[in-house]
Amino acid sequence: MDELKRQAAEQAVTLITSGMVVGLGEGSTALWALRAIARRLGDGSLSNIVGVPCSKNIERHATELGIPLTTLEAYDHIDLTIDGADEVDPQLNLIKGGGGALLREKIVAQASLREIIIVDESKLSPALGTKWHVPIEVVPFGWGSQRRFLESLGAKVTLRQSKTGGNFITDQGNFILDSHFGPISDPAALAATLSARAGIVEHGLFVGLTTQLIVATRK
């Protein structure tokens, strides 16, 4: 599976040209893209680019690899973002947020002229929610009321825990409620319902943001 992720990431990086502002996605597949970018910067086939990282984790890796970084305060748009996804439907809608960076990832996606999603074939699905839950970032205050709201919509909800114990905390200091809706017939309608709820900071439904999908397959 790592080899498939590497292949997809390296194909996506060929779309980057010198002088671009590049969104740097979160996740294991996006990390392969970071390595490919660093390699091209090192051999001189790519130059004068700056990256906008989608998480503190990716910011740290990019800095270690020598990739120059910037912010959305310095630039009014991003030329191209390379990111992964947890699930992709036939309309190129996504579930993202398995790594906990859904808020920053969506901010970067919305600022991007091109949103390139790289996945292996296991992430393809006939309908969002078939294989993956929807991560929902909520403010800690009153998070239980958000849980009850999500349950009223038919979701089975779990407060995400960190690998070291305790509640998982996002880069913005919020909680994540992993919400299992099952197959979602209308992702746009559910996204609108979630976005309208006070206390929900962001959700992992990325609807209408993908401009290109690169899939690595075993065949």
* pLDDT, averaged in runs of 10, over the chain (219 residues): 83 96 92 95 96 96 97 96 96 97 98 95 95 98 98 98 94 98 98 98 98 87
pLDDT score at 23: 98
Fold for the domain defined by 2-122+208-216 = Rossmann fold (3.40.50)
At residue 78, the 3 state secondary structure works out as strand
Catalytic pick from 26, 59, 105, 202?
Answer: 105
Quick one: pLDDT at residue 5?
A: 82
pLDDT of 1 reads 65
Q: How far apart are CA 99 and CA 90, in angstroms?
A: 23
According to CATH, the superfamily of the domain at 134-202 is ACT domain (3.30.70.260)
The pLDDT of residue 168 is 97
Tell me the domain boundaries of the chain: 2-122+208-216, 134-202
The residue type of 21 is V
Identify whether the C-beta of residue 161 lies closer than 8 Å to the C-beta of residue 168.
yes
Known catalytic residue at 121: no
Residue 55, pLDDT score: 96
- Give residue 218's pLDDT: 78
